[in-house]
Structure 1
Amino acid sequence: MEAPECPVCIQPMTVPIFQCQSGHSLCNSCTVKLSPPICPICRQTMTQMRNWQLEDLVGKAIAACPNKNKGCVYKYVSKEMEDHVKECIFREMDCPMGKVFGTCSWSGKLKELLNHFKDRHPGNCANITSNITSNFTIDNISVTNDCRHFYILQFNKQIFFLSFKIDTVQKLGYWLVQYVGTKKAARQNVYEIQINSKQHQKRTVTYIDYCFSDSMDANEVFRQAQCAVMPLIMMGHFIDNSKITFRCLIKLFNKPAINNNDQSKHATTGQKNGPPFPNRHKSPGPHVSRAKGSGVNNTQSVGPKHGPKKQQANFNKK
């Protein structure tokens, strides 16, 4: 059934639902805007009494996205609507530069965001194609100072956010690519970060993983180390003259068809449902490979172990 409408804003009801002294119920959005807390229908005082029966009904009802009049056609069970609104591509968006650095107060639609960056933040824009990686050089970098950098990327007519962070408390550096849209669509895109040493030309570290949705807080991803992570003691070898250079490539990941034999293999190995990761290394975390004859093992695990991801580094000594 369709979700009941709020008698004030005529939008689908949202929980929690409070009542006034006469029993009128308003959606949560309208209730929090009341100042003073007077019912707009009967002018009686709003109470802290919840309408539990109506909330239960709303939780089971099908509701259209609040951005329906802006073009969104999706409908969800009301209790799932909050998650959808956070990632709806028709939602009103604040400028990420304002959210991260507090330097911009712009807000608008997703389709307007790229033009805003080109106009107000041109140094934070980059285009990526399937055959070209974007190169980034960040100046004034030091492993002893915290920093945060943000870029907006356009690939295949989609928008992505690239974040780079140095955290001297955790003693880690982070790279994160987020897809602006739903979590499901985000996992159809794979990003690759290649960090190049300015001290040794043939020293590189490559990291490959699925994109996150922008609805996921970047700080939470950093905290859980679910993105590209490098210990600062290691990053120091990739910084020269206070500069660090890296490349970013985004690829569409198409899930291959699985026949019955493949399905039995997956069942045997215990692999979870979802698109398999391309060339995923057995041991997560950064991995160092040295040239033959160097007298050390070919594969050496270093750094934190977090999440299913692949990091490799090649060191060729002259």
Structure 2
Amino acid sequence: MATAKPNKKAAAVAIDLPECPVCMETMSAPIFQCQSGHSLCNSCTQNLMPPICPICRQNLTQMRNWQLEEIVAKAKVPCPNKSAGCVYTMVSVDMEEHLKECIFREMECPLGIVFGKCSWTGKLKDMMEHFKERHTDHCNATSDEEVELTNVDIKNDDRHFFLVAQTKFLFIITVKIDTLQNMVYWTIQHIGSKKAAHDHIYEIHVLSKQNPRRKVVFTEHCFNDAIKPEEIFRQGKCAALPLEMLVHYIKDKKLSFRFFIKRIPPAPKANKNDKGDGKNDNKPGPKGPGPKPKNPNQDSKPKQNGAGPSGKGNKNKAQA
């Protein structure tokens, strides 16, 4: 009797994932077994002392439960931040990437990450309020006014940081003076998903303190906050100026710039009737008032009376 082969490309299904009997957390690959076949997560298998199964008291092994790992890999699971408001479900192998950009995740203060001076953790919706209470100088930048940096010295490394709210989104502006690379960098990152970040572009207008007519403008796509600013600077996908040029924009150790964040309008939807195959290019338009179009097959010269071009037909008719 023939047996059906399993479909390796089967669609993901929504099931309850198995939990590790030790830590009670949802298991993900790699999953190991004891001598009796009970499954444990990787962390508990490596750290449980003595290495004995809590269910049957048999020794743990390094044997993988491949079948269970395959089931887990195909299963759709809700985001762990579901209780906080996240509505996304996905296969477990995509969960790690999603958690890096989930706007409902527990976040650290960006200033704490960069400068190590703040231990705040909380939700994105509370971040701006935290900045207004604890980091006032880092959340007062707006696109309506110039942003002025003080104590700017191209001989010393420096970094400036601003949290900006625009419509319902939050953005991070980072300015870095790098004496090793002999460059100054600007970048604006969206706090959220890669897709939402890619839907935005930003402009940086560097204004000269020495000559009001002089300025330089940069335009770039936004990255999201999952990527470190240093990586953006390394790739050169940001606003950047050599320090020897920057000196022409500094006066009394002050540097000014303006920024604009714009949402890219969605592309217009294609007309379903327009297939783009050129078949309708020569299709006649609708009928209307006016002279009828000329038939291309009709001779433009008036017909002569008679049987042929010699005119004999006319002569015979006259004699008759």
Could you state the TM-score of these two structures normalised by the residue count of structure 1? 0.73
Structure 1, residues 153-186: CA drift from partner, whole Å, max 9, x if none? 0000211111111111111111111111111111
Which whole-Å CA distance do the structure 2 matches of 1:116 and 1:150 have between them? 15
Which whole-Å CA distance do the structure 1 matches of 2:64 and 2:145 have between them? 53
Structure 1, residues 76-125: CA drift from partner, whole Å, max 9, x if none? 12211111110001100011111101111111111111111111111100
206, 220, 223: which one pairs with 1:209? 220
Identify which of structures 1 and 2 has the higher relative contact order when contacts are C-alpha pairs closer than 8 Å and 6+ apart.
Answer: 1
Which whole-Å CA distance do the structure 2 matches of 1:214 and 1:158 have between them? 12
Task: Identify if the C-alpha distance between structure 1 residues 198 and 62 changes in structure 2 by more than 3 Å, giving closer, same or farther.
Answer: same
Q: Which residue of 1 aligns with 2:206?
A: 195
Deviation at 1:33, TM superposition (A): 9.8
**Pairwise CA RMSD of aligned residues?**
2.7
The 5-angstrom pairing of residues 151-166 of structure 1 reads 151-166=162-177
CA contact (8 A) 2:141 2:162 kept: no
Which of these two proteins has the greater Rg computed from alpha carbons?
Answer: 2
The 5-angstrom pairing of residues 231-246 of structure 1 reads 231-246=242-257
Given the alignment of the two structures, is residue 82 of structure 1 paired with residue 82 of structure 2, yes or no? no
Structure 1, residues 40-69: CA drift from partner, whole Å, max 9, x if none? 833666555443332233222212111112
Deviates more, 1:92-101 or 1:8-17: 8-17
| Structure 2 unmatched runs, 5+ | 1-12, 277-320
Q: Secondary structure at the match of 2:131?
A: helix
Q: Which residue of 2 aligns with 1:2?
A: 14
The 5-angstrom pairing of residues 51-130 of structure 1 reads 51-126=65-140, 128=142
Which whole-Å CA distance do the structure 2 matches of 1:127 and 1:68 have between them? 33
Which whole-Å CA distance do the structure 2 matches of 1:88 and 1:41 have between them? 35
Task: Identify if the C-alpha distance between structure 1 residues 50 and 99 changes in structure 2 by more than 3 Å, giving closer, same or farther.
Answer: farther
Which whole-Å CA distance do the structure 2 matches of 1:7 and 1:181 have between them? 31
In the comparison of the two structures, how many residue pairs are matched?
A: 260
| Structure 1 unmatched runs, 5+ | 265-318
> Structure 1 or 2: larger strand share?
1
State the AA in 2 paired with 1:80.
D
Which whole-Å CA distance do the structure 2 matches of 1:207 and 1:189 have between them? 14
Task: Identify if the C-alpha distance between structure 1 residues 24 and 69 changes in structure 2 by more than 3 Å, giving closer, same or farther.
Answer: farther
149, 156, 159: which one pairs with 2:160? 149
| Amino-acid identity (%) | 46
CA contact (8 A) 1:179 1:214 kept: yes
State the AA in 2 paired with 1:88.
C
Q: Which residue of 1 aligns with 2:229?
A: 218
